[in-house]
Amino acid sequence: MEPAKIIEELQKRLSMQRFQHVLRVTETAKSLANMNGESIESAETAALFHDIAKNMDTDKMKELLKRHDADPLLFKFHKELWHAPAGAIIAREEFGIQDEDILNAIRFHTTGRAHMSKLEMILYIADMTEPGRDFPEVDELRLLSEGPLDQAMRSCITQTLNHLIGKQVPVYPDSIECYNYFVK
Ligand code: DGI
Ligand code: FE
Ligand code: FE
Ligand code: FE
């Protein structure tokens, strides 16, 4: 799908701040794809769609997920986790994206998971290290993102888990499985 068409649609659905984040993630993801011999076009499509459901009404998002047989466990966790699988559904149903790797990158961009593909890692790392992100550890993660993807991913998911545990919020099983997979 033409990036310009997706961008037009994003502007209708997202706040200006969120839209700008998506553009920065997209540039970061394309650069990571280029460095790692992965399809730049796939990285661009996955990144453009990744937060498309971020500003969606919570009840509508829940309804959409239920209609598409999402894992009921999701609803026992914070609604922050819902926009990722909802985004994958929207990309497929409304925009005709069929590439499973792209859809999985969108679906797992918030939690990560075990056995992530290169594209999935690229989107996760890009989302976390885009130039607008500002937390104490981000510069180290940016440096690591210039090296092997699995090593950068290990540090990113460790940072996420540390952050969640520091806040004493529940950690979704996919996030824990992701951590276990990458530290092994
Ligand atoms: O949508 P973004 O803000 O660009 O970033 P994101 O989709 O990676 O993360 C959204 C939020 O989800 C972020 O505040 C961290 C949180 N999160 C990630 N993994 C988990 C989680 N929250 C809980 N409760 N459990 C998780 O496993
Ligand atoms: Fe997100
Ligand atoms: Fe993220
Ligand atoms: Fe994001």
pLDDT 10s digits, 69-78: 999 999 999 9
Per-residue pLDDT at 60 exceeds 90: yes
Structure confidence at residue 167 as a pLDDT band (50, 70, 90): very high
Tokens (6 digits) for 45? 């499509």
Which residues lie near ion ligand 3 (Cβ < 5 Å)?
127
With H, G, I as helix, E, B as strand and everything else as coil, classify residue 62. helix
Residue 174's pLDDT band, with cuts at 50, 70 and 90, is very high
| pLDDT surpassing 90 at residue 168 | yes
Looking at residue 14, the DSSP 8-state letter turns out to be S
Contact between 88 and 94 under an 8 Å Cβ cutoff? The reply is no
CATH number of the domain bearing residue 100: 1.10.3210.10
Of 138, 106, 136, the residue nearest 119 (C-alpha): 106
Ligand closest to CA 28: 4
Q: What is the number of the ligand 1 atom nearest to the C-alpha of 163? A: 15
21 falls in which pLDDT band (50, 70, 90)? Answer: very high
Q: Using alpha carbons only, what angle is made at residue 37 by residues 92 and 118, rounded to the nearest 5 degrees?
A: 50
Q: Which residues line ligand 1 (CB under 6 A)?
A: 51, 54, 77-78, 80-81, 84, 109-111, 127, 160, 164, 169-172, 175
Quote the ligand 4 centre to 9 CA distance (angstroms): 16
Instruction: Quote the mean pLDDT of the chain.
Output: 98
Distance CA 56, CA 71 (A): 19
ipTM above 0.85, yes or no: yes
Confidence tier at 63 by pLDDT (50, 70, 90): very high
Question: Across residues 38-56, what is the average pLDDT?
Answer: 98
Of 180, 161, 181, nearest to 171 (Cα)?
161
- Residue keyed to tokens 């649609």: 9
pLDDT beyond 90 at 165: yes
Give the distance (Å) from ligand 3 centre to CA of residue 1.
Answer: 23
- Average pLDDT in the 176-183 region? 98
Find where tokens 């068409």 sit. 5
Are the C-beta atoms of 81 and 111 separated by less than 8 Å?
yes
pLDDT band at 1 (very low <50, low <70, confident <90, very high): confident
Q: Which domain holds residue 14?
A: 3-183
d(CA 28, CA 23): 9
Name the percent of the chain lying above pLDDT 90: 99
Residues 95-120 pLDDT 10s: 999 999 999 999 999 999 999 999 99
Which of 8, 15, 7 has the alpha carbon at shortest distance from 47?
A: 7
Q: Are 123 and 105 in contact (CB under 8 A)?
A: yes
Going from the Cα of 85 to the center of ligand 4, the distance in angstroms, rounded, reads 13
Domain count, the chain: 1
